[in-house]
Amino acid sequence: MKTLLKKLVKPLLMLAIITSATSCIDKDKNTKEETEVTENTGGKFESEKDLKGMKIGYCTPSLDAPYYQALLTSIKETTEANGMTFLSADGQGDINKQIAAVEDLITKGVDALLLNPKDPDALVGVTKLAAKAGIPVFIIDSSIDPSAEYVTTIQSNNLANGELAGEWVAKKFGAKKMKIALLSGNAGNPVGRTRKQGLLQGIAEEQLRSLGYIDLNVKTQMYTDWTYAGGLKAMEDVLVAHPDINVVLTESDVCVLGAIKAIAQAGKTNDILIVAGADGQKEAIKYIMDTNFYGCTAMNSPVQIGKNSVECAIQYINGKRDFPKTSYTAPLLITKENAAQYYNPKALF
C-alpha cells in the first residue's frame, strides 16, 4: 500500500498545483494525439470502395465477461452490415494463446485487424508482423505500448469517466471520512490504472474545491482479474482485513458485482457505498436504480466502441491516414437520476 500511495501522491500533488493554472485552458480542445468522437447511431457507413469481400479480423483477450461478448457482437454486426466478412479469434485469457490467435488472423489475410490486447507489452510483436503484411491494426478498448505498430486506439475516456465518478463520491461524502478499498482488474493493466487515476484525481480535485484539502484514506487494493468470482474473493479478503471500510472504488462494474454478495453476507449493505469508474453494465445500472449502496458508474459502451472501430477501419480502407493516436467516446456518469435512461434489460452487457 505504501508503494501504491507513493505512485499516486505525486500526480495528485501536481493536480493541486496546476488546478488554478489550468482554469483558463479550454479543456474541450483536442490535440493531434487524441480526440473525442461522437456517437454513431447506425451501423452502416459510407464507402467509396466496394467493401464486398473485405475481411475484418478481431481478436478478443477472452470471452468470459459480458463486456467482451457485447463488444465482439457489435463488431461482428457492424462488419456484416457493411457487407464485409467478419473473422474472430479468442485469446482465452492467455497471452500466448492471444498471440497465436492474432498470428492466425494475419495468416488469413484480413484487410484490417482489430485487437483488444490482454497485455500492453506482449502483443507489440504481432502488431509489427501485421504491419509487415500490410495489415492496419486498430487497438480496441484497452491500450498497447507506444512502440507497437498501430493506427489508432478506440476506447472510452477512462480518465474523464473516473474523474466524474470520483467527483460524485467526494460530493456525496463531503467532510465525512472515507475509508476506501480499491477493487482493480489486474496488476499493470493500463486501462485499469487510468481509471483508478481518474477516480482518485476526481476525489482530490473536488475535495480541494469544497474542503480546501485532500483526504484520501486508501486502506487496501485488491485484484479481481475482471471477473465476478475474483470480485467476490477480493471483497471477502477486504472485509476480513479492513472491516471498517465504507467506500469501494472499482475500475469496472464487473470487478464489484461479485463483491456485492460478500458485502451482503457480511451485513454491510447499508455501510458501504460502491462507486465504479466504468462500465455501465446493465446489472450495475439496475442496482443504481433500485438500491442506495451502488452509487454510480460511468459509461463504457461496447456497442459504441465496436461501431467506431469498424468505422475507423472502413475509413482507412478508403484512404484516410490522419487518425489521432487515441479516439475517445464521450464521458458519461450514470447515477440514480439518469439510470433508467440507459438501462436495457435485453442488452448483452
Bridge partners for 248 per DSSP: 181, 274
Residues 6+ apart with CB under 8 A from 65: 226, 227, 254
pLDDT (tens digit per residue) in 318-348: 999 999 999 898 899 999 999 999 999 988 8
CATH architecture under which domain 158-300+335-342 falls? 3-Layer(aba) Sandwich (3.40)
Distance (Å, whole) CA 22 – CA 128: 38
Average pLDDT of the chain? 89
Whether residue 255 has pLDDT greater than 80: yes
Whether residue 194 has pLDDT greater than 50: yes
- Please report, for the chain, the start and end positions of each structural domain, with discontinuous segments joined by +: 34-156+302-330, 158-300+335-342
Residue with cell 451501423: 43
pLDDT at 134 (0 to 100):
97
pLDDT at 209 (0 to 100):
97
Distance (Å, whole) CA 323 – CA 292: 42
Q: Which of 197, 200, 203 has its CA nearest to residue 171?
A: 203
CA atoms within 13 A on the CB side of 149: 14
pLDDT at 6 (0 to 100):
43
Q: Do 166 and 198 contact (CB within 8 A), yes or no?
A: yes
43 pLDDT tier (thresholds 50, 70, 90):
confident
Global pTM? 0.77
Cell of 87: 473473422
Distance (Å, whole) CA 345 – CA 283: 8
Q: Same CATH topology for 34-156+302-330 and 158-300+335-342?
A: yes
CATH architecture under which domain 34-156+302-330 falls? 3-Layer(aba) Sandwich (3.40)
Residue 74 region, left (φ>0) first, then alpha (ψ -120 to 50), else beta? alpha
pLDDT (tens digit per residue) in 261-275: 999 999 999 999 999
